[in-house]
A and B are shown apart, each in its own frame.
Chain A
Protein backbone atom coordinates (compact mmCIF):
# COMPACT_ATOMS: atom_id res chain seq x y z
CA UNK A 1 0.00 0.00 0.00
CA UNK A 2 1.37 3.39 -0.89
CA UNK A 3 -0.59 5.37 1.65
CA UNK A 4 2.51 6.68 3.45
CA UNK A 5 3.95 7.76 0.11
CA UNK A 6 0.69 9.43 -0.72
CA UNK A 7 0.71 11.18 2.65
CA UNK A 8 4.21 12.50 1.96
CA UNK A 9 3.29 13.88 -1.43
CA UNK A 10 0.27 15.45 0.15
CA UNK A 11 2.35 16.99 2.93
CA UNK A 12 4.77 18.48 0.41
CA UNK A 13 1.93 20.15 -1.43
CA UNK A 14 0.18 21.09 1.77
CA UNK A 15 0.56 24.89 2.04
CA UNK A 16 -1.05 25.55 -1.32
CA UNK A 17 -3.52 22.70 -1.28
CA UNK A 18 -4.76 23.06 2.29
CA UNK A 19 -6.10 26.51 1.54
CA UNK A 20 -7.81 25.46 -1.68
CA UNK A 21 -9.20 22.49 0.09
CA UNK A 22 -10.81 24.64 2.76
CA UNK A 23 -12.45 26.76 0.10
CA UNK A 24 -13.68 23.71 -1.74
CA UNK A 25 -15.02 22.15 1.46
CA UNK A 26 -17.00 24.85 3.24
CA UNK A 27 -18.85 22.12 5.17
CA UNK A 28 -15.70 21.22 7.11
CA UNK A 29 -15.15 24.84 8.04
CA UNK A 30 -18.78 25.09 9.18
CA UNK A 31 -18.41 21.87 11.17
CA UNK A 32 -15.27 22.99 12.95
CA UNK A 33 -16.74 26.41 13.70
CA UNK A 34 -19.88 24.84 15.11
CA UNK A 35 -17.87 22.43 17.24
CA UNK A 36 -15.72 25.27 18.52
CA UNK A 37 -18.87 27.17 19.45
CA UNK A 38 -20.06 24.20 21.51
CA UNK A 39 -16.72 24.00 23.33
CA UNK A 40 -16.85 27.73 24.07
CA UNK A 41 -20.41 27.27 25.32
CA UNK A 42 -19.18 24.78 27.92
CA UNK A 43 -16.76 27.28 29.40
CA UNK A 44 -19.04 30.31 29.43
CA UNK A 45 -22.10 28.35 30.62
CA UNK A 46 -22.01 29.64 34.25
CA UNK A 47 -22.19 33.23 33.00
CA UNK A 48 -24.85 32.93 30.33
CA UNK A 49 -27.24 30.54 32.06
CA UNK A 50 -28.89 30.24 35.47
CA UNK A 51 -28.89 27.19 37.76
CA UNK A 52 -30.23 24.29 35.65
CA UNK A 53 -31.67 22.64 38.76
CA UNK A 54 -33.50 25.67 40.22
CA UNK A 55 -37.20 24.88 40.67
CA UNK A 56 -39.77 27.61 40.04
CA UNK A 57 -43.19 26.00 40.67
CA UNK A 58 -45.16 29.09 39.63
CA UNK A 59 -43.69 29.12 36.11
CA UNK A 60 -44.35 25.54 35.11
CA UNK A 61 -44.49 24.52 31.41
CA UNK A 62 -44.21 28.13 30.21
CA UNK A 63 -43.61 28.60 26.45
CA UNK A 64 -40.44 30.33 25.24
CA UNK A 65 -40.35 33.98 26.32
CA UNK A 66 -37.90 36.81 27.00
CA UNK A 67 -37.10 35.42 30.47
CA UNK A 68 -37.05 31.74 29.52
CA UNK A 69 -35.72 31.60 25.96
CA UNK A 70 -36.47 27.90 25.55
CA UNK A 71 -39.46 27.85 27.95
CA UNK A 72 -39.70 25.94 31.23
CA UNK A 73 -40.35 22.30 32.12
CA UNK A 74 -42.89 20.76 34.49
CA UNK A 75 -40.88 21.83 37.54
CA UNK A 76 -40.44 25.37 36.25
CA UNK A 77 -36.78 24.76 35.49
CA UNK A 78 -35.33 26.93 32.72
CA UNK A 79 -34.93 24.71 29.64
CA UNK A 80 -32.36 27.09 28.10
CA UNK A 81 -30.08 26.79 31.15
CA UNK A 82 -30.51 23.04 31.22
CA UNK A 83 -29.64 22.77 27.55
CA UNK A 84 -26.58 25.02 27.89
CA UNK A 85 -25.30 23.03 30.87
CA UNK A 86 -26.14 19.78 29.12
CA UNK A 87 -23.57 20.59 26.41
CA UNK A 88 -20.80 19.71 28.85
CA UNK A 89 -22.26 16.29 29.70
CA UNK A 90 -22.82 15.34 26.06
CA UNK A 91 -19.39 16.42 24.87
CA UNK A 92 -17.68 14.75 27.84
CA UNK A 93 -19.47 11.51 27.04
CA UNK A 94 -18.62 11.79 23.34
CA UNK A 95 -14.94 12.58 23.88
CA UNK A 96 -14.41 10.00 26.64
CA UNK A 97 -16.07 7.22 24.69
CA UNK A 98 -14.06 8.10 21.57
CA UNK A 99 -10.83 8.04 23.60
CA UNK A 100 -11.56 4.82 25.51
CA UNK A 101 -12.90 2.91 22.52
CA UNK A 102 -10.06 3.91 20.16
CA UNK A 103 -7.28 3.25 22.68
CA UNK A 104 -8.54 -0.17 23.75
CA UNK A 105 -9.54 -1.01 20.18
CA UNK A 106 -6.09 0.03 18.94
CA UNK A 107 -4.33 -2.19 21.46
CA UNK A 108 -6.45 -5.25 20.73
CA UNK A 109 -6.45 -4.59 16.98
CA UNK A 110 -2.66 -4.33 16.67
CA UNK A 111 -2.15 -7.48 18.75
CA UNK A 112 -4.71 -9.36 16.67
CA UNK A 113 -3.27 -8.22 13.38
CA UNK A 114 0.30 -9.02 14.39
CA UNK A 115 -0.03 -12.24 16.36
CA UNK A 116 -2.13 -14.70 14.39
CA UNK A 117 -2.54 -16.98 17.39
CA UNK A 118 -4.38 -14.30 19.37
CA UNK A 119 -6.37 -13.32 16.33
CA UNK A 120 -8.64 -16.34 16.00
CA UNK A 121 -9.94 -16.35 19.55
CA UNK A 122 -10.23 -12.60 20.00
CA UNK A 123 -11.96 -12.01 16.69
CA UNK A 124 -14.62 -14.65 17.48
CA UNK A 125 -15.16 -12.77 20.76
CA UNK A 126 -15.51 -9.51 18.82
CA UNK A 127 -17.98 -11.15 16.40
CA UNK A 128 -20.07 -12.19 19.38
CA UNK A 129 -19.99 -8.69 20.85
CA UNK A 130 -20.95 -7.18 17.51
CA UNK A 131 -23.92 -9.53 17.26
CA UNK A 132 -25.49 -7.89 20.30
CA UNK A 133 -27.27 -4.63 19.39
CA UNK A 134 -25.21 -1.87 21.00
CA UNK A 135 -28.12 -0.18 22.74
CA UNK A 136 -29.17 -3.45 24.41
CA UNK A 137 -25.59 -4.19 25.45
CA UNK A 138 -25.29 -0.74 26.99
CA UNK A 139 -28.70 -1.00 28.66
CA UNK A 140 -27.83 -4.38 30.14
CA UNK A 141 -24.54 -3.09 31.54
CA UNK A 142 -26.10 0.07 32.95
CA UNK A 143 -29.07 -1.63 34.62
CA UNK A 144 -26.76 -4.06 36.39
CA UNK A 145 -24.54 -1.36 37.86
CA UNK A 146 -25.43 1.69 39.86
CA UNK A 147 -26.24 4.42 37.36
CA UNK A 148 -23.53 7.09 37.10
CA UNK A 149 -21.92 9.10 34.33
CA UNK A 150 -18.84 6.86 34.42
CA UNK A 151 -20.89 3.67 34.02
CA UNK A 152 -22.74 5.25 31.08
CA UNK A 153 -19.42 6.11 29.42
CA UNK A 154 -18.05 2.60 29.96
CA UNK A 155 -21.29 0.98 28.80
CA UNK A 156 -21.34 2.99 25.58
CA UNK A 157 -17.62 2.40 24.96
CA UNK A 158 -17.74 -1.40 25.13
CA UNK A 159 -20.00 -1.96 22.08
CA UNK A 160 -17.84 0.48 20.07
CA UNK A 161 -14.60 -1.42 20.69
CA UNK A 162 -15.11 -4.29 18.19
CA UNK A 163 -15.64 -1.83 15.34
CA UNK A 164 -12.32 -0.11 16.13
CA UNK A 165 -10.59 -3.48 16.49
CA UNK A 166 -11.79 -4.53 13.03
CA UNK A 167 -10.54 -1.31 11.46
CA UNK A 168 -7.11 -1.42 13.12
CA UNK A 169 -6.72 -5.12 12.40
CA UNK A 170 -7.46 -4.64 8.71
CA UNK A 171 -4.85 -1.89 8.47
CA UNK A 172 -2.26 -3.99 10.31
CA UNK A 173 -2.98 -7.01 8.10
CA UNK A 174 -2.51 -4.95 4.95
CA UNK A 175 0.78 -3.53 6.22
CA UNK A 176 2.41 -6.53 7.85
CA UNK A 177 3.09 -8.31 4.58
CA UNK A 178 5.00 -5.39 3.11
CA UNK A 179 8.76 -5.71 2.44
CA UNK A 180 9.78 -3.07 4.98
CA UNK A 181 8.24 -5.08 7.82
CA UNK A 182 10.01 -8.16 6.53
CA UNK A 183 13.23 -6.16 6.49
CA UNK A 184 12.68 -5.06 10.08
CA UNK A 185 12.03 -8.64 11.17
CA UNK A 186 15.12 -9.92 9.36
CA UNK A 187 17.35 -7.33 11.02
CA UNK A 188 16.18 -8.64 14.37
CA UNK A 189 13.90 -5.80 15.47
CA UNK A 190 11.77 -6.84 18.43
CA UNK A 191 8.06 -7.45 17.97
CA UNK A 192 6.88 -4.57 20.11
CA UNK A 193 9.25 -2.15 18.34
CA UNK A 194 7.97 -3.21 14.94
CA UNK A 195 4.42 -2.67 16.14
CA UNK A 196 5.14 0.69 17.74
CA UNK A 197 7.42 2.19 15.09
CA UNK A 198 6.48 0.57 11.83
CA UNK A 199 2.87 -0.49 12.12
CA UNK A 200 1.20 1.92 14.54
CA UNK A 201 1.78 5.08 12.44
CA UNK A 202 -0.25 3.56 9.60
CA UNK A 203 -3.30 3.25 11.81
CA UNK A 204 -3.34 6.89 12.96
CA UNK A 205 -5.18 8.45 10.03
CA UNK A 206 -8.09 5.99 9.82
CA UNK A 207 -8.29 5.93 13.63
CA UNK A 208 -8.71 9.68 13.94
CA UNK A 209 -11.54 9.57 11.42
CA UNK A 210 -13.13 6.61 13.19
CA UNK A 211 -12.81 8.42 16.54
CA UNK A 212 -14.95 11.31 15.31
CA UNK A 213 -17.70 8.91 14.22
CA UNK A 214 -17.49 7.05 17.54
CA UNK A 215 -17.78 10.39 19.32
CA UNK A 216 -20.90 11.36 17.38
CA UNK A 217 -22.57 8.01 17.85
CA UNK A 218 -21.72 8.05 21.58
CA UNK A 219 -23.46 11.41 22.01
CA UNK A 220 -26.54 10.01 20.26
CA UNK A 221 -26.34 6.83 22.33
CA UNK A 222 -26.18 8.73 25.63
CA UNK A 223 -29.20 10.79 24.64
CA UNK A 224 -31.07 7.67 23.56
CA UNK A 225 -30.29 5.81 26.78
CA UNK A 226 -31.25 8.78 28.96
CA UNK A 227 -34.42 9.21 26.90
CA UNK A 228 -35.34 5.60 27.71
CA UNK A 229 -34.63 6.17 31.39
CA UNK A 230 -31.62 3.87 31.39
CA UNK A 231 -28.80 6.37 31.06
CA UNK A 232 -27.26 9.25 32.95
CA UNK A 233 -28.86 9.71 36.41
CA UNK A 234 -31.93 11.99 36.00
CA UNK A 235 -30.57 14.73 38.27
CA UNK A 236 -27.77 15.44 35.78
CA UNK A 237 -29.09 17.80 33.05
CA UNK A 238 -27.86 15.94 29.97
CA UNK A 239 -29.71 16.59 26.70
CA UNK A 240 -31.20 13.14 26.80
CA UNK A 241 -32.53 13.72 30.32
CA UNK A 242 -34.03 17.08 29.38
CA UNK A 243 -35.80 15.39 26.46
CA UNK A 244 -36.93 12.56 28.74
CA UNK A 245 -38.59 15.03 31.14
CA UNK A 246 -40.54 16.49 28.23
CA UNK A 247 -41.84 13.12 27.05
CA UNK A 248 -45.14 13.13 28.92
CA UNK A 249 -45.82 16.80 28.15
CA UNK A 250 -44.84 17.10 24.53
CA UNK A 251 -48.39 17.68 23.29
CA UNK A 252 -48.74 20.84 25.41
CA UNK A 253 -45.09 21.89 25.68
CA UNK A 254 -43.09 20.58 22.71
CA UNK A 255 -40.27 23.06 23.38
CA UNK A 256 -38.86 20.86 26.18
CA UNK A 257 -38.05 18.26 23.55
CA UNK A 258 -37.46 20.50 20.55
CA UNK A 259 -34.59 22.68 21.80
CA UNK A 260 -32.33 20.01 23.31
CA UNK A 261 -33.12 17.83 20.28
CA UNK A 262 -31.92 20.53 17.89
CA UNK A 263 -28.76 21.11 19.96
CA UNK A 264 -28.09 17.39 19.90
CA UNK A 265 -28.54 17.25 16.13
CA UNK A 266 -26.26 20.28 15.65
CA UNK A 267 -23.51 18.80 17.82
CA UNK A 268 -23.62 15.46 16.01
CA UNK A 269 -23.76 17.25 12.66
CA UNK A 270 -20.68 19.34 13.56
CA UNK A 271 -18.67 16.29 14.59
CA UNK A 272 -19.73 14.32 11.52
CA UNK A 273 -18.77 17.19 9.20
CA UNK A 274 -15.34 17.41 10.84
CA UNK A 275 -14.99 13.65 10.50
CA UNK A 276 -15.93 13.71 6.81
CA UNK A 277 -13.45 16.50 6.22
CA UNK A 278 -10.65 14.69 8.03
CA UNK A 279 -11.41 11.56 6.08
CA UNK A 280 -11.22 13.43 2.78
CA UNK A 281 -7.92 15.10 3.64
CA UNK A 282 -6.21 12.21 5.45
CA UNK A 283 -7.26 9.53 3.01
CA UNK A 284 -7.71 10.89 -0.52
CA UNK A 285 -8.25 7.38 -1.79
CA UNK A 286 -11.35 6.94 0.31
CA UNK A 287 -12.50 10.45 -0.50
CA UNK A 288 -12.74 9.63 -4.16
CA UNK A 289 -14.74 6.54 -3.42
CA UNK A 290 -17.34 8.04 -1.12
Chain B
Protein backbone atom coordinates (compact mmCIF):
# COMPACT_ATOMS: atom_id res chain seq x y z
CA UNK B 1 0.00 0.00 0.00
CA UNK B 2 2.69 2.49 1.03
CA UNK B 3 4.77 1.49 -1.98
CA UNK B 4 1.76 2.02 -4.20
CA UNK B 5 1.04 5.48 -2.81
CA UNK B 6 4.72 6.40 -3.13
CA UNK B 7 4.82 5.23 -6.73
CA UNK B 8 1.70 7.23 -7.58
CA UNK B 9 3.19 10.24 -5.82
CA UNK B 10 6.39 10.00 -7.85
CA UNK B 11 4.40 9.68 -11.07
CA UNK B 12 2.93 13.15 -10.51
CA UNK B 13 6.38 14.76 -10.79
CA UNK B 14 6.85 14.35 -14.57
CA UNK B 15 3.26 15.48 -15.13
CA UNK B 16 3.75 18.69 -13.18
CA UNK B 17 7.14 19.20 -14.81
CA UNK B 18 5.46 19.02 -18.18
CA UNK B 19 2.78 21.48 -17.09
CA UNK B 20 5.49 23.91 -15.94
CA UNK B 21 7.33 23.53 -19.24
CA UNK B 22 4.14 24.03 -21.21
CA UNK B 23 3.12 27.12 -19.26
CA UNK B 24 6.62 28.51 -19.63
CA UNK B 25 6.77 27.85 -23.36
CA UNK B 26 3.28 29.23 -23.85
CA UNK B 27 4.61 32.75 -23.59
CA UNK B 28 7.89 32.08 -25.35
CA UNK B 29 6.89 30.02 -28.37
CA UNK B 30 4.19 32.37 -29.52
CA UNK B 31 5.01 34.36 -32.61
CA UNK B 32 6.45 37.75 -31.74
CA UNK B 33 8.24 39.22 -28.77
CA UNK B 34 6.59 38.26 -25.44
CA UNK B 35 7.60 41.61 -23.98
CA UNK B 36 5.79 43.41 -26.79
CA UNK B 37 2.76 41.16 -26.36
CA UNK B 38 2.62 41.95 -22.64
CA UNK B 39 3.21 45.66 -23.15
CA UNK B 40 0.29 45.89 -25.56
CA UNK B 41 -0.16 47.66 -28.87
CA UNK B 42 0.40 51.24 -27.77
CA UNK B 43 3.58 50.76 -25.73
CA UNK B 44 6.73 52.72 -26.50
CA UNK B 45 9.93 50.81 -27.34
CA UNK B 46 11.28 52.00 -23.99
CA UNK B 47 8.39 50.43 -22.09
CA UNK B 48 8.87 47.18 -24.01
CA UNK B 49 12.56 47.15 -23.13
CA UNK B 50 11.73 47.81 -19.47
CA UNK B 51 9.33 44.86 -19.38
CA UNK B 52 11.84 42.66 -21.14
CA UNK B 53 14.42 43.42 -18.50
CA UNK B 54 12.02 43.14 -15.58
CA UNK B 55 10.86 39.67 -16.63
CA UNK B 56 14.38 38.57 -17.50
CA UNK B 57 13.38 37.98 -21.10
CA UNK B 58 16.79 39.19 -22.31
CA UNK B 59 18.49 36.11 -20.86
CA UNK B 60 18.97 32.76 -22.65
CA UNK B 61 15.77 30.73 -22.70
CA UNK B 62 17.08 27.74 -20.71
CA UNK B 63 18.28 30.11 -18.00
CA UNK B 64 14.84 31.69 -17.90
CA UNK B 65 13.23 28.27 -17.51
CA UNK B 66 15.63 27.39 -14.71
CA UNK B 67 14.74 30.59 -12.87
CA UNK B 68 11.03 29.99 -13.49
CA UNK B 69 11.08 26.44 -12.08
CA UNK B 70 13.23 27.58 -9.17
CA UNK B 71 10.68 30.26 -8.35
CA UNK B 72 7.80 27.77 -8.65
CA UNK B 73 9.46 25.37 -6.24
CA UNK B 74 9.81 28.19 -3.74
CA UNK B 75 6.09 28.90 -4.14
CA UNK B 76 6.56 32.01 -6.26
CA UNK B 77 3.96 31.93 -9.03
CA UNK B 78 5.15 35.19 -10.58
CA UNK B 79 4.05 38.80 -10.30
CA UNK B 80 1.02 40.42 -11.85
CA UNK B 81 1.95 42.94 -14.53
CA UNK B 82 -0.83 45.38 -13.73
CA UNK B 83 -1.24 45.33 -9.97
CA UNK B 84 2.43 44.45 -9.37
CA UNK B 85 1.30 42.07 -6.61
CA UNK B 86 2.57 38.49 -6.35
CA UNK B 87 0.17 36.09 -8.08
CA UNK B 88 0.06 34.00 -4.91
CA UNK B 89 -1.25 37.01 -2.92
CA UNK B 90 -3.98 37.60 -5.52
CA UNK B 91 -4.87 33.90 -5.40
CA UNK B 92 -5.16 33.96 -1.61
CA UNK B 93 -7.48 36.96 -1.77
CA UNK B 94 -9.79 35.17 -4.20
CA UNK B 95 -9.55 31.66 -2.82
CA UNK B 96 -12.49 31.59 -0.39
CA UNK B 97 -15.43 32.07 -2.78
CA UNK B 98 -14.07 29.47 -5.19
CA UNK B 99 -13.42 26.87 -2.51
CA UNK B 100 -16.87 27.49 -0.98
CA UNK B 101 -18.46 27.20 -4.42
CA UNK B 102 -16.60 24.00 -5.30
CA UNK B 103 -17.32 22.32 -1.96
CA UNK B 104 -21.02 23.28 -1.99
CA UNK B 105 -21.33 22.03 -5.55
CA UNK B 106 -19.71 18.76 -4.60
CA UNK B 107 -22.07 18.35 -1.62
CA UNK B 108 -25.19 19.31 -3.59
CA UNK B 109 -24.27 17.05 -6.51
CA UNK B 110 -23.41 13.96 -4.45
CA UNK B 111 -26.41 14.41 -2.13
CA UNK B 112 -28.82 14.51 -5.06
CA UNK B 113 -27.12 12.36 -7.67
CA UNK B 114 -26.21 9.22 -5.71
CA UNK B 115 -29.78 8.63 -4.39
CA UNK B 116 -31.08 9.40 -7.89
CA UNK B 117 -28.74 6.85 -9.44
CA UNK B 118 -29.58 4.22 -6.81
CA UNK B 119 -33.29 4.80 -7.31
CA UNK B 120 -32.95 4.59 -11.09
CA UNK B 121 -31.06 1.30 -10.83
CA UNK B 122 -33.48 -0.15 -8.30
CA UNK B 123 -36.52 0.86 -10.36
CA UNK B 124 -34.76 0.18 -13.66
CA UNK B 125 -36.87 0.55 -16.82
CA UNK B 126 -39.77 2.17 -14.96
CA UNK B 127 -41.05 5.72 -15.21
CA UNK B 128 -38.87 6.84 -12.30
CA UNK B 129 -35.78 5.51 -14.06
CA UNK B 130 -36.74 7.18 -17.34
CA UNK B 131 -37.32 10.55 -15.66
CA UNK B 132 -33.99 10.43 -13.83
CA UNK B 133 -32.09 9.35 -16.94
CA UNK B 134 -33.90 11.97 -19.01
CA UNK B 135 -32.80 14.56 -16.49
CA UNK B 136 -29.25 13.28 -16.76
CA UNK B 137 -29.28 13.52 -20.55
CA UNK B 138 -30.53 17.11 -20.25
CA UNK B 139 -27.92 17.90 -17.63
CA UNK B 140 -25.18 17.11 -20.13
CA UNK B 141 -26.69 19.31 -22.82
CA UNK B 142 -27.80 22.48 -21.05
CA UNK B 143 -24.85 24.87 -20.69
CA UNK B 144 -24.04 26.11 -17.20
CA UNK B 145 -24.68 29.75 -18.05
CA UNK B 146 -28.20 29.01 -19.27
CA UNK B 147 -29.00 27.08 -16.07
CA UNK B 148 -27.44 29.91 -14.07
CA UNK B 149 -29.45 32.67 -15.70
CA UNK B 150 -32.71 30.67 -15.57
CA UNK B 151 -32.16 30.00 -11.85
CA UNK B 152 -31.43 33.70 -11.24
CA UNK B 153 -34.50 34.71 -13.20
CA UNK B 154 -36.83 32.31 -11.38
CA UNK B 155 -35.53 32.24 -7.81
CA UNK B 156 -33.91 35.65 -7.46
CA UNK B 157 -35.73 38.08 -9.74
CA UNK B 158 -39.23 36.55 -9.65
CA UNK B 159 -39.39 34.83 -6.25
CA UNK B 160 -36.75 36.87 -4.34
CA UNK B 161 -35.61 33.77 -2.45
CA UNK B 162 -31.94 34.35 -3.12
CA UNK B 163 -29.74 37.33 -3.97
CA UNK B 164 -29.41 37.95 -7.73
CA UNK B 165 -25.62 37.94 -7.88
CA UNK B 166 -22.55 38.38 -5.74
CA UNK B 167 -20.98 36.51 -2.86
CA UNK B 168 -21.10 37.07 0.90
CA UNK B 169 -17.92 35.90 2.64
CA UNK B 170 -18.23 33.47 5.55
CA UNK B 171 -16.95 36.20 7.89
CA UNK B 172 -20.30 37.98 7.35
CA UNK B 173 -22.20 35.01 8.66
CA UNK B 174 -22.64 31.45 7.53
CA UNK B 175 -26.31 31.90 6.62
CA UNK B 176 -25.64 34.84 4.30
CA UNK B 177 -22.77 32.97 2.64
CA UNK B 178 -24.94 29.89 2.17
CA UNK B 179 -27.78 31.96 0.71
CA UNK B 180 -25.44 33.54 -1.81
CA UNK B 181 -23.95 30.20 -2.89
CA UNK B 182 -27.09 28.04 -3.31
CA UNK B 183 -27.96 29.09 -6.86
CA UNK B 184 -24.37 28.98 -8.19
CA UNK B 185 -23.87 25.55 -6.62
CA UNK B 186 -26.99 24.18 -8.31
CA UNK B 187 -26.12 25.77 -11.66
CA UNK B 188 -22.59 24.40 -11.61
CA UNK B 189 -23.71 21.10 -10.09
CA UNK B 190 -26.22 20.17 -12.79
CA UNK B 191 -23.78 18.56 -15.23
CA UNK B 192 -21.95 16.99 -12.32
CA UNK B 193 -25.20 15.52 -10.99
CA UNK B 194 -25.98 14.14 -14.44
CA UNK B 195 -22.59 12.46 -14.59
CA UNK B 196 -22.71 10.98 -11.09
CA UNK B 197 -26.33 9.80 -11.42
CA UNK B 198 -25.56 8.04 -14.67
CA UNK B 199 -22.49 6.22 -13.37
CA UNK B 200 -24.19 5.36 -10.07
CA UNK B 201 -27.06 3.77 -11.97
CA UNK B 202 -24.74 1.83 -14.30
CA UNK B 203 -22.56 0.62 -11.47
CA UNK B 204 -25.54 -0.30 -9.26
CA UNK B 205 -27.22 -2.19 -12.12
CA UNK B 206 -24.11 -4.29 -12.58
CA UNK B 207 -23.84 -5.09 -8.88
CA UNK B 208 -27.57 -5.73 -8.43
CA UNK B 209 -27.49 -8.45 -11.09
CA UNK B 210 -24.95 -10.49 -9.14
CA UNK B 211 -25.65 -13.68 -7.24
CA UNK B 212 -24.83 -12.45 -3.76
CA UNK B 213 -27.57 -9.82 -4.04
CA UNK B 214 -30.07 -12.59 -4.72
CA UNK B 215 -28.67 -14.46 -1.75
CA UNK B 216 -29.06 -11.40 0.44
CA UNK B 217 -32.65 -11.01 -0.71
CA UNK B 218 -33.32 -14.69 -0.16
CA UNK B 219 -32.14 -14.59 3.43
CA UNK B 220 -34.68 -11.81 4.00
CA UNK B 221 -32.58 -8.65 4.06
CA UNK B 222 -34.69 -5.53 3.64
CA UNK B 223 -34.58 -3.50 0.44
CA UNK B 224 -32.70 -0.69 2.16
CA UNK B 225 -30.12 -3.10 3.54
CA UNK B 226 -29.61 -4.77 0.17
CA UNK B 227 -29.32 -1.48 -1.68
CA UNK B 228 -27.13 0.43 0.73
CA UNK B 229 -25.13 -2.22 2.56
CA UNK B 230 -24.65 -4.88 -0.07
CA UNK B 231 -24.90 -3.07 -3.37
CA UNK B 232 -23.84 0.55 -2.99
CA UNK B 233 -20.67 -0.31 -1.13
CA UNK B 234 -19.55 -2.60 -3.91
CA UNK B 235 -20.63 -0.17 -6.61
CA UNK B 236 -18.57 2.60 -5.03
CA UNK B 237 -15.34 2.38 -7.03
CA UNK B 238 -16.63 3.78 -10.34
CA UNK B 239 -18.74 6.34 -8.46
CA UNK B 240 -15.74 7.65 -6.55
CA UNK B 241 -13.73 7.75 -9.76
CA UNK B 242 -16.34 9.80 -11.51
CA UNK B 243 -16.66 12.18 -8.56
CA UNK B 244 -12.92 12.73 -8.92
CA UNK B 245 -13.06 13.15 -12.69
CA UNK B 246 -16.02 15.46 -12.22
CA UNK B 247 -14.01 17.72 -9.92
CA UNK B 248 -11.75 18.41 -12.87
CA UNK B 249 -14.84 19.17 -14.94
CA UNK B 250 -15.90 21.59 -12.22
CA UNK B 251 -12.78 23.70 -12.65
CA UNK B 252 -13.84 24.71 -16.16
CA UNK B 253 -17.38 25.34 -14.95
CA UNK B 254 -16.19 27.47 -12.03
CA UNK B 255 -14.80 30.11 -14.39
CA UNK B 256 -18.15 30.48 -16.18
CA UNK B 257 -20.32 30.20 -13.06
CA UNK B 258 -18.37 32.91 -11.26
CA UNK B 259 -18.88 35.17 -14.27
CA UNK B 260 -22.63 34.51 -14.38
CA UNK B 261 -23.09 35.08 -10.65
CA UNK B 262 -20.46 37.80 -10.32
CA UNK B 263 -18.55 35.91 -7.64
CA UNK B 264 -15.12 37.40 -6.96
CA UNK B 265 -13.23 34.11 -6.96
CA UNK B 266 -10.38 32.52 -8.91
CA UNK B 267 -12.56 32.20 -12.00
CA UNK B 268 -13.16 35.96 -12.07
CA UNK B 269 -9.44 36.47 -11.49
CA UNK B 270 -8.80 34.34 -14.57
CA UNK B 271 -11.28 36.21 -16.75
CA UNK B 272 -10.03 39.61 -15.60
CA UNK B 273 -6.47 38.49 -16.31
CA UNK B 274 -7.50 37.43 -19.82
CA UNK B 275 -9.19 40.71 -20.56
CA UNK B 276 -6.13 42.64 -19.33
CA UNK B 277 -3.68 40.13 -20.88
CA UNK B 278 -2.00 39.74 -17.51
CA UNK B 279 -0.01 36.64 -18.54
CA UNK B 280 1.75 35.88 -15.23
CA UNK B 281 -1.67 35.51 -13.56
CA UNK B 282 -2.92 33.19 -16.31
CA UNK B 283 0.27 31.13 -16.08
CA UNK B 284 0.07 30.94 -12.30
CA UNK B 285 -3.57 29.89 -12.35
CA UNK B 286 -2.94 27.16 -14.92
CA UNK B 287 -0.18 25.73 -12.71
CA UNK B 288 -2.44 25.97 -9.67
CA UNK B 289 -5.51 24.36 -11.27
CA UNK B 290 -3.39 21.65 -12.89
CA UNK B 291 -1.86 20.94 -9.47
CA UNK B 292 -5.31 20.61 -7.91
CA UNK B 293 -6.37 18.26 -10.69
CA UNK B 294 -3.27 16.08 -10.28
CA UNK B 295 -3.80 15.88 -6.51
CA UNK B 296 -7.48 14.94 -6.94
CA UNK B 297 -6.53 12.19 -9.39
CA UNK B 298 -3.94 10.94 -6.92
CA UNK B 299 -6.52 10.83 -4.12
CA UNK B 300 -8.96 8.96 -6.36
CA UNK B 301 -6.30 6.37 -7.19
CA UNK B 302 -5.49 5.91 -3.52
CA UNK B 303 -9.15 5.67 -2.55
CA UNK B 304 -9.56 2.65 -4.86
CA UNK B 305 -7.48 0.60 -2.52
CA UNK B 306 -9.70 1.54 0.42
CA UNK B 307 -13.00 0.79 -1.28
CA UNK B 308 -11.84 -2.42 -2.89
CA UNK B 309 -9.24 -4.25 -0.81
CA UNK B 310 -8.66 -6.65 -3.69
CA UNK B 311 -6.96 -3.87 -5.62
CA UNK B 312 -3.22 -4.02 -4.99
CA UNK B 313 -0.82 -2.56 -7.45
Question: Interface of A with B (CB < 8 Å)?
Answer: 27, 124-125, 127-129, 131-137, 139-141, 143-145, 216, 220, 223-224, 227-230, 243, 247, 250-251, 254, 257-258, 261-262, 264-266, 268-269, 272-273, 276, 289-290
The answer to whether the Cβ of B286 comes within 8 Å of any Cβ in the partner chain is: yes
Cβ contacts under 8 Å, A131 to chain B: 15-16, 18-19, 290, 293-294
Q: Are A227 and B157 in contact (CB under 8 A)?
A: no
Cβ contacts under 8 Å, A276 to chain B: 137
In the bound complex, CA of A268 to CA of B202 (Å):
22
Q: Are B149 and A128 in contact (CB under 8 A)?
A: no
Cβ 8 A contact of B146, one of A230, A257, A272: A257
The answer to whether the Cβ of B51 comes within 8 Å of any Cβ in the partner chain is: no
In the assembled complex, the CB of A108 is this many whole angstroms from the nearest CB of chain B, namely 15
Cβ contacts under 8 Å, A216 to chain B: 140-141
In the assembled complex, the CB of B94 is this many whole angstroms from the nearest CB of chain A, namely 15
Q: Are B140 and A268 in contact (CB under 8 A)?
A: yes
Cβ contacts under 8 Å, A273 to chain B: 137
Near A by CB (< 8 A), chain B positions 119-176 give: 137-138, 140-146, 149-150, 152-153, 157, 164
Label chain B's interface by main secondary structure. Answer: helix
How many cross-chain pairs have Cβ atoms below 8 Å apart between A and B?
Answer: 141
Question: Interface of B with A (CB < 8 Å)?
Answer: 14-19, 21-23, 26-27, 30-31, 37, 137-138, 140-146, 149-150, 152-153, 157, 164, 198, 202, 206, 248, 251-252, 255-256, 259, 270-271, 274-275, 277, 279, 282-283, 285-286, 289-290, 293-294
Interface centre among A127, A247, A289 (most CB of B within 10 A): A127
Cβ contacts under 8 Å, B141 to chain A: 216, 265-266, 268-269, 272
Known: A131-B294, A135-B252. 11 other contacts (CB 8 A): A124-B15, A124-B18, A132-B19, A132-B286, A136-B285, A140-B23, A144-B26, A250-B152, A266-B141, A268-B140, A268-B141
In the bound complex, CA of A254 to CA of B26 (Å):
38
